[in-house]
Amino acid sequence: MADPRTRRLRLWTSALTTGALALAVLLVPPLVPLDQQAVDLGSRLLAPSWRHPFGTDDVGRDLLLRCVHGLRVSLLVGLVAALVATVAGTAVGAAAGALGGRADRLLMRIVDGFSAVPHLLLGIFVVALFRPGVWPVIASVALTHWLSTARIVRSEVLSLRSRPFVDAAISGGAGRWRVAVRHLLPAVLPQAGLAAVLMIPHAMWHESALSFLGLGLPSHQASLGNLVQTARSSLLTGHWWPTLFPGLLLVVPTLAIAGLAGVWRDRLHPRRRSELML
């Protein structure tokens, strides 16, 4: 287990990186709109320089600007999909844990049924039913990512059901639904929030995989997956920057969010952290 100084350094590094990326995606696209039709064949595939820090793509467009716009779209998909998946998973997990019996078995069999299908295959099936766009991708990611949250929340609810405050509420005449809504659900919300934060980079990678396969966002729309997909031919000719920088913008937010989530996890489970330090 890392010492306190290392943990603080990781926290500040993750927070500053996340803040810088958030400012970039909030400020740059409105101030510098992206012209989808812009083509400058005289500047195609220029290496990174002061004028073009990320270089240019195969039709001469500035890659830094396209990467920032692509990161904005990928983060939007990740945030919304993580929120929808967390709400659905929390509702199913809380209902299964609070009701127990047949309801618990039925809901968990539904979860097992969805889990039996590979996420990418199920996601491809969902997006294939609609035209390429943001909302089909969000629906695809949300439908395949609520399962782990449901299991986590159910496990937490089952452990909370044996606590004295639940017995006191039941003794006071509270029904199952009242106990679940007023006592159990608020207790598991921090854990569900942590699951949502960790789901954001996972959802971004899922969207990028679908777009890379040509099944996600429209090819003309800048997203990190589309940028990597269109850069494949350039990589074969020795032009590495159209692939490297979109890939880095997938990796960097993942590491930053994971660092923040690690600090959150330590605060949720201080006893577990102290046990690991022994």
Q: Give me the number of domains the chain comprises.
A: 1
Tokens of 126: 């969902």
Amino acid at 236: L
Q: Tell me: the pLDDT tens digits for 161-218?
A: 777 766 676 666 666 667 777 777 777 888 888 888 888 888 888 888 888 887 877 7
131 burial level (CB within 10 Å; 0-12, 13-18, 19+):
exposed
Element (H, E) at 54: none
Please indicate, yes or no, if residue 217 is contained in any of the structural domains. Answer: no
Please indicate, yes or no, if residue 97 is contained in any of the structural domains. Answer: yes
Q: What is the DSSP string of 87-122?
A: HHHHHHHHHHHHH-HHHHHHHHHHHHHHHTS-HHHH
Please indicate, yes or no, if residue 180 is contained in any of the structural domains. Answer: yes
- Cα-based torsion angle of the residue sequence 82, 85, 88, 89 in order, rounded to the nearest 10 degrees: -100
The CATH number for 197's domain is 1.10.3720.10
Q: Distance of alpha carbon 87 from its chain centroid, rounded? A: 14
Please indicate, yes or no, if residue 110 is contained in any of the structural domains. Answer: yes
Domain that holds residue 164: 71-204+250-277
Please indicate, yes or no, if residue 29 is contained in any of the structural domains. Answer: no
**C-beta separation of 143 from 83 below 8 A:** no
**92-96, 139-143, 158-162: least confidently modelled range:** 158-162
Q: Tell me: the pLDDT tens digits for 26-42?
A: 888 887 877 666 777 77
Q: Tell me: the pLDDT tens digits for 44-92?
A: 888 888 888 898 888 888 888 889 888 888 888 888 999 999 999 988 9
Collect all residues with Cβ–Cβ distance below 8 Å to 31 and sequence separation of at least 6: none
Please give the span between the terminal C-alpha atoms of the chain, in angstroms, as a whole number: 9
3 state SS of 62: strand
Please indicate, yes or no, if residue 156 is contained in any of the structural domains. Answer: yes
Beta bridge partners of 62: 56
pTM of the model: 0.81
Collect all residues with Cβ–Cβ distance below 8 Å to 266 and sequence separation of at least 6: 7, 273
Flag whether pLDDT at 274 surpasses 50: no
Please indicate, yes or no, if residue 165 is contained in any of the structural domains. Answer: yes
Please indicate, yes or no, if residue 214 is contained in any of the structural domains. Answer: no
Q: Each residue of 243-268: b (16+ CB within 10 Å) or e? A: bbbbeebbebbbebbebbbbebebee
